[in-house]
């Protein structure tokens, strides 16, 4: 997702430090960011944020953390969180490569990866968020009984992810090859999901645990 560069982005984000952590102030103390201590669910690559905001509305007993590396994208999410007055969702300007520095061991119950960038060239496969390098980081910060939920319309990335998670020894709780054919009511569509589905693409989903 490419957004026009906004020179005022950092000033805007810094003004909303109660919603968004721009300088990793809460690294190692994520519960301190929230009014109450509750299980932590993380979405990596929130994009415009409609998924995580709807999750936070439906599940007040969970603390949601949205990780996004693009400050120009994150502005839009901050604005929406402000409008909704939700206190169980916080955003972090962070590259997922640094997750282990941000969260403590076994601190996270669930990770959502929605329509992650496919990085189709083989030489870029380490950048895919389901590459074993990332799985290693997720495993360290997740509870044992936690799971990763991944949705994509990209068949190659889905197959790569199944192989990568399987090779890493993860157990699959669910593998769906056409999520919208019989869409479960709990499914919350993301912006990319709506766009790709409208183009006639199938949506794949898996849930897997360590
Ligand atoms: N999840 C949203 C959706 O489904 O509509 C957005 C999908 S968009 C294709 C991928 C998003 O992930 C972008 O906003 C991008 O900036 C973010 N992203 C990509 N790599 C990331 C990383 N390593 N850490 C954090 N965010 C990342």
Position 5 scores a pLDDT of 82
| Residues flagged as binding site for substrate | 121, 153, 190-193
Q: How do residues 133-161 score in pLDDT, each as one tens digit? A: 999 999 999 998 889 999 999 999 999 99
Neighbours of 37 (CB within 10 A): 10
CA of 44 to the centre of ligand 1 (A): 7
Q: How do residues 153-194 score in pLDDT, each as one tens digit? A: 999 999 999 999 999 999 999 999 999 999 999 999 999 999
Res. 1 pLDDT band, cuts 50 70 90:
low
Calculate the average pLDDT of the chain. 96
Q: Work out whether strand 142-152 and strand 204-209 pair parallel, antiparallel, or are unpaired.
A: antiparallel
**CA 46, CA 68: separation in Å to the nearest integer?**
6
Position 167 scores a pLDDT of 98
Q: Where are the domains of the chain?
A: 9-209
Share of the chain above pLDDT 70, in %: 99
Q: In a 3-state reduction of DSSP, which class is residue 6?
A: coil
Q: Is the CB of 124 under 6 A from ligand 1?
A: no
User: Which architecture, in CATH terms, is 9-209?
Assistant: 3-Layer(aba) Sandwich (3.40)
Does the structure's ipTM exceed the value 0.90?
A: yes
Q: Which of the following is catalytic: 21, 117, 178, 182?
A: 117
Give the residue carrying structure tokens 């721009």.
Answer: 22
Judge residue 206's burial from the number of C-beta atoms within 10 Å of its C-beta, 0-12 exposed, 13-18 middle, 19 or more buried. Answer: buried
């Amino acid at each position: 997702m490419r957004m026009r560069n906004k020179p005022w982005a950092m000033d805007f984000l810094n003004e909303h430090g109660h919603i968004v952590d721009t300088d990793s102030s809460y690294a190692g103390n994520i519960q301190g960011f929230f009014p109450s201590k509750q299980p932590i669910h993380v979405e990596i690559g929130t994009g415009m944020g409609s998924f995580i905001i709807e999750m936070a509305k439906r599940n007040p007993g969970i603390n949601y953390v949205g990780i996004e590396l693009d400050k120009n994208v994150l502005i839009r999410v901050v604005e929406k969180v402000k409008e909704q007055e939700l206190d169980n969702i916080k955003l972090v300007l962070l590259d997922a490569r640094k997750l282990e520095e941000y969260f403590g061991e076994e601190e996270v119950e669930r990770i959502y990866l929605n329509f992650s960038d496919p990085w189709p060239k083989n030489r870029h496969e380490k950048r895919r968020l389901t590459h074993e390098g990332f799985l290693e980081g997720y495993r360290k910060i997740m509870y044992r009984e936690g799971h990763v939920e991944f949705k994509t319309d990209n068949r190659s990335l889905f197959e790569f992810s199944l192989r990568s998670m399987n090779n890493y020894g993860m157990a699959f709780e669910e593998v769906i090859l056409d999520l919208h054919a019989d869409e479960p009511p709990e499914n919350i569509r993301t912006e990319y999901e709506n766009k790709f589905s409208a183009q006639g693409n199938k949506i794949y989903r898996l849930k897997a645990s360590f």
